[in-house]
Chain A
Amino acid sequence: MTTPVAHRPLTAGRRLHIGDTAFRISLFAAGAVVIVVLLSILTIMFVGGKQAFDTFGLGFISGTEWNPVTQIYGALPAITGTLLTAVLALLIAWPIGFGIAFFLTETCPERLRGPLGVAVELLAAVPSIVYGMWGFFVLAPFMAEYVQPWLTATFLWIPPIPDTFYWFTAPPIGVGLITASLVLAIMILPFIAATTRDVLQSTPQLLKDGAYAMGATRWEALTGVVIPAVRGSLFGAVFLGLGRALGETMAVVFVIGNAIRMPDSLMAPSATIASVVANSFPEAEPGTLDLAVLLALGFILFVVSFGVLAIARVLLRQERMS
């Protein structure tokens, strides 16, 4: 009788040892937990919000009225506020973030590169409530005092959409869409800078050297070689930032003004899905339509962020493979 212990091959067709089987099953189960969590969030939100979808149908998404007293709930104001603030924040933060990333990878003096890079990453870790507080106590009064009157005076020439949207013509109360967008922009700035820098750094040095050998300037190397090579990942970083801005609560809730109605200007107090959920939750008793509406809003936000983040991951992964 031979004992098959010593020469057992590790893989391929052999019976797994009991310890290995248990080991594999437990790890596999942990992996499954991740998927179960995601599916449960989706299911719980949908089931909890079903009463809202049943009551209002598709009108829940297109409805513009939000009135807890008459129990009429339309999500469009919150959806509009969410998309507007997130997109505006991205428009403000991306050029600056990209500038920081380009500076850090190309033109920054070697000695400063490390410390500045670390500083940017550390700033990305500052809790969002800090940005919210700063927005509330510092930025909002500053906006009301100086920036908003100036915006109104400067952009008066933009023709309004009569009775619906007056751009920058509104009372300067400090809080509102544009202030929330600014706070969000500042919050996601270090995050965008850090991810964009990682993307730019992932460009093979050989490509850049080739461009320089042809006599390209740094800017030409960037626009002609680096950006085309990493375009997908660059968009991926943008979508990651967007995903962050869409779901952010604490940076927004202080400065958005919390008015759940269709904004009639970029300075109007407004609301985002996250801010509505956080603000209306204390009044929403379990089992009522009030809570179902919040869960339905949560479901919409989750689906939107899922889509944005999925696009981001696909774009970022594409080039990691190649």
Chain B
Amino acid sequence: MKQLSPAARARYFRRQLVDRVMSGLCMLAAVIGLILLGLILWMLFSNGIGGLSLSVFTNSMAQPGAGGGLANAIVGSLIQVGLGAMIGAPLGMMVGIYLSEVGKESRFASVVRFVNDILLSAPSVLIGLFVYQIAVAPMGGFSGLAGALSLALIAMPIVARTTEDILRLVPQAYRDGAVALGSRENEVVRKVVVPAAFSGILTGVMLAVARIAGETAPLLFTSLGNTNWSTDLTQPMASLPIAIYRYAGSPYGEWVSLAWTGAMLITVGVLVLNILSRFSHAAVAGRMKG
């Protein structure tokens, strides 16, 4: 650097300094952000693990002091999430297949894609209010079925998006090969394209399940929650998120503790589903490229 004039050298050091300082600030942001988020998870586990016992899974919700658990809420969540996924996922898959294989860049497909992206991030509280108006009010009461329906409406756009994305990874040669063998359009899709990407599509379904499992707001308007054991789809049904919501705001220490435990259970479930889907997605994407 001998040839540099003092002014140029000063400028050089100033540029290096700016780079270091800004990079350092970004790193600081990353450290602060991740520590903060880690802190929340740690809080969740340290508060939740204490209340974890067998009775959480075997007993239904009860009055404080009566040794209640969350069994009815867990089962209610499983029913509603399962049913919601069973309604929402096939519909979402069909939308995804339409966008990737039939509609492609057509005008209608572009509109569907755009609207689907909007629904993907639409406030879930409004989905709940919507289902209340079209299902709960006309049927004259809150029900597990309405809860499942609202979850289905949230799952559908997620599955549609992930299905389209994964189908686009299927090499064109698969389709060309199937056509060359005399397959019809529906056979190409049903027997070649979709099977090739099926585990990837299931990944999307897993992600959707993870998302709807933690949804609270829509259930406030649809299945309402229930402190008793009930598997009747036409009656109000308990769910883990609603149980957490009601218990967290209660003045009883025992209920608050159960709320933390419930929140921990949901978070663990959601994270496990996300990690599983990540592995499966990596495997599928790798197979497509390799």
Q: Which residues of A contact B (CB under 8 A)?
A: 6, 10, 16-17, 19-20, 22-24, 26-28, 30-35, 37-38, 40-41, 44-45, 48, 95-100, 102-104, 106-108, 116, 118-123, 125-134, 136-138, 186, 189-190, 193, 217-220, 240, 243-244, 246-250, 254, 274, 277-278, 281, 286, 294-295, 298, 301-302, 305-306, 309-310, 312-313
Contact = CB atoms under 8 A, between A and B. Distances in A.
Contacts of B214: 126-130
A26 B217 contact: no
A294 to B, nearest CB: 7
B121 A34 contact: no
A130 B267 contact: yes
B184 A34 contact: no
Contacts of B121: 240, 243-244, 247, 305, 309, 312
A19 B186 contact: yes
B67 to A, nearest CB: 23
A45 B29 CA distance: 41
Contact of A44 (B133, B189, B221): B133
Contacts of A34: 95, 112, 115-116, 119, 156-157, 160
Given A30-B91, A129-B216, A250-B217, A99 B25 contact: yes
Interface string B135-167: 001000000000000000100110010000000
A10 B133 contact: no
Interface string B16-47: 10110011011111101110110011011001
Given A28-B98, A45-B126, A95-B29, A133 B248 contact: yes
Contact of A24 (B102, B114, B134): B102
A102 B119 contact: no
12 contacts: A24-B186, A31-B99, A35-B111, A96-B32, A123-B37, A126-B41, A127-B216, A249-B125, A277-B125, A277-B129, A278-B125, A301-B123
Nearest to A222: B22
Interface stretch (B51-59, B195-203, B230-238, B270-278): B270-278
Contacts of A24: 102, 185-186
B61 interface: no
B258 interface: no
Given A247-B122, A305-B121, 10 more contacts: A10-B179, A17-B184, A103-B26, A128-B214, A220-B19, A250-B216, A274-B125, A298-B129, A313-B117, A313-B118
Interface size class of B (residues with CB under 8 A): 35 or more
Contact of B189 (A23, A95, A240): A23
A23 B85 CA distance: 22
Contact of B278 (A118, A133, A134): A118
B129 A295 contact: yes
Contacts of B248: 132-133, 136-137, 254
A117 to B, nearest CB: 11
Q: Which of A41, A119, A186 has the most CB of B within 10 A?
A: A41
Given A38-B118, A218-B19, A248 B33 contact: no
A97 B129 CA distance: 32
Contacts of A244: 121
Given A35-B115, A48-B133, A127-B266, A217 B18 contact: yes
A269 B47 CA distance: 27
Contacts of A186: 36-37, 40
Contacts of B274: 121-122, 125
Which 6 A-B pairs have CB atoms at the shortest separation, nearest pair first?
Answer: A247-B123, A127-B214, A99-B29, A30-B94, A23-B186, A217-B19
Q: Which of B16, B25, B186 has the most CB of A within 10 A?
A: B186
Contacts of A118: 278
A133 B185 contact: no
Interface in B234-280: 241, 244-245, 248-249, 256, 259-260, 263, 266-267, 270-271, 274-275, 278
B168 interface: no
A170 to B, nearest CB: 23
B247 to A, nearest CB: 10
Given A17-B184, A100-B33, A126-B267, A40 B114 contact: no
Contacts of B182: 6
A99 B43 contact: no
A143 to B, nearest CB: 14
Contacts of A309: 117-118, 121-122
A274 B244 contact: no
A158 B271 CA distance: 44
Contact of A133 (B16, B215, B260): B260
Contacts of B213: 127
Q: Which of A10, A108, A274, A281 has the most CB of B within 10 A?
A: A10
A249 B124 contact: yes
Interface string B74-114: 00000000000000000100110111011100001101101
Nearest to A33: B91
B40 A45 contact: no
Contact of A116 (B34, B156, B179, B216): B34
Contacts of B25: 99
Nearest to B277: A125
Given A44-B130, A277-B125, A100 B30 contact: yes
A248 B156 CA distance: 19
